[in-house]
Each structure stands twice: as C-alpha cells, then as structure tokens.
Amino acid sequence: MGDRLLSVYEILFDRYGELHWWPARTPYEVMVGAVLTQNTAWSNVEKAMAGFGEKLSPSFVADADLIELTRIIRPAGFFNQKAGYLKAVTAWFGGYGYDVATVQKEPLAKIRSELLATRGVGQETADSILLYAFGFPTFVVDAYTIRLCGRYPIEAGKGYTAVKAYFERNLPQSAEVYNSFHALIVINAKEHCRKKPRCGGCPLGGTCGRCGI
C-alpha cells in the first residue's frame, strides 16, 4: 500500500517537478497565513496580508490593539476571532523570543502539543506552522489530500489523525518530501482534481480508479 502512495508522489513529481509550498517571506508570515487561511480562500488571505504593509512582525501584532488588528485582517473573514487567534499564536512564539532556531531545537511533539493548546490552532494549522515555518517533519492534511485519497483511492483511513499517520508511515520521514508532496497534491487539485474533476490530462489518470467517472 505504501508503494501506491509513493507511486502517486512520483507520478505527480514527474509532471510538476520540485515545488515548495507556502507563499510567505518569513516564518512568522507562515504562521499568520496559517491562521488567516482558516475557512477562507487564499486570495482573501493575500488581501489581509497586504493590509499589514511592511509592518507585519510578531512585535507589531503583539502590541497592536484588537480594533486595529481586526481592521487590517478584515478581508480574511471571521476577523474578530482571527485577531484573537493571531494574538495567541504570537504570544506562544514570544515564549521562544520570536526566534525560529530556538523553536527548532525543541522536540516536534512538544511544539505540536503547545500549538494545539493555543487558541484557534487546530491540527491543520499546527502542522502547517510546524512544517512550513519551522521545517519539522510533520505531514499536513488538508481538504485536497482528503479528496485525492477518496477518489484515487488511497486507503489512508478516516479523519485527520489517521490520514496524517498513514502518509508519515508510508513516506520517508522528511520535511522536504512532506512539503513537496503536499504542494504537488495542491497543484494537481487546482489543475485537475477539482470539486468537479477534470480528469482529461490528469497525470494520475492512468492509475486513478475514479478517472472519468
């Protein structure tokens, strides 16, 4: 079964090549984006991020009053909640002096559990921050991953924890691979495996059980 997963990775890699996901200039921007993208399209996150201008930094968010923060992130929706979440994640990061290397010295399980205990941080947000901001080897499961598993199918089980464990069990334990595979799943979902699939030209068409159905 692991071979099947690896072959999906290889097929996608052959088509799209080496990709790296998370459009951000700094690890802190990844953290902010991971919170803002909850329940909204990435285009709205981009608008909210642009509202920070050059001011986006942990100290700015920590010091900003909630009204100002809410005004800036309004385009991302759920702005009252998300302003509180951003404050909470930033306060957590502040416990490490806003220093990426200090976080990276800690065990993955400890940091993951701290993030999950932070207001507004669920599993996908925690894993996105761990993988993309700090380079920890943890697989991010998102709606695109679940969709691909359901259609192909990849029998990864049900629910976030099971799917994450399946991918981690069947792939090399590598942040690079997890990052690249997730990016490949995302691009193929946007190009082909959309809500209404466009199977023509999909690189997985030759092996996917749902091709053309």
Instruction: Kindly state whether residue 11 participates in binding ligand SF4, applying the rule CB under 6 A.
Output: no
3-state secondary structure of 122: coil
User: How many Å is the maximal CA-CA distance in the chain?
Assistant: 54
- Cβ neighbours around 50 below 10 Å, total: 11
Binding string to ligand SF4 for residues 126 to 165, with x set by CB under 6 A, is what? -------------------------xx-------------
Pick the closer one to ligand SF4 by CB: 115 or 185. 185
Pick the closer one to ligand SF4 by CB: 139 or 152. 152
State in angstroms the smallest separation of the CB of 177 from ligand SF4.
20
Interface residue with ligand SF4, options 140, 192, 195, 196 (CB under 6 A):
192
What residue type is assigned to position 62 of the chain? A
Pick the closer one to ligand SF4 by CB: 45 or 204. 204
Pick the closer one to ligand SF4 by CB: 118 or 145. 145
Distance CA 202, CA 208 (A): 9
| Centroid of chain to Cα 161 | 15
Please tell me the count of residues contacting ligand SF4 according to CB under 6 A.
Answer: 12
Residue ranges in 53-99 assigned as alpha helix (H): 58-63, 66-73, 79-94
State in angstroms the smallest separation of the CB of 3 from ligand SF4.
18
Kindly calculate the radius of gyration of the chain based on its CA atoms and give it in whole angstroms: 18
Distance CA 145, CA 35 (A): 19
Applying CB under 6 A, the residues found at the interface with ligand SF4 are: 151-152, 192-193, 197, 199, 202, 204-205, 208, 210-211
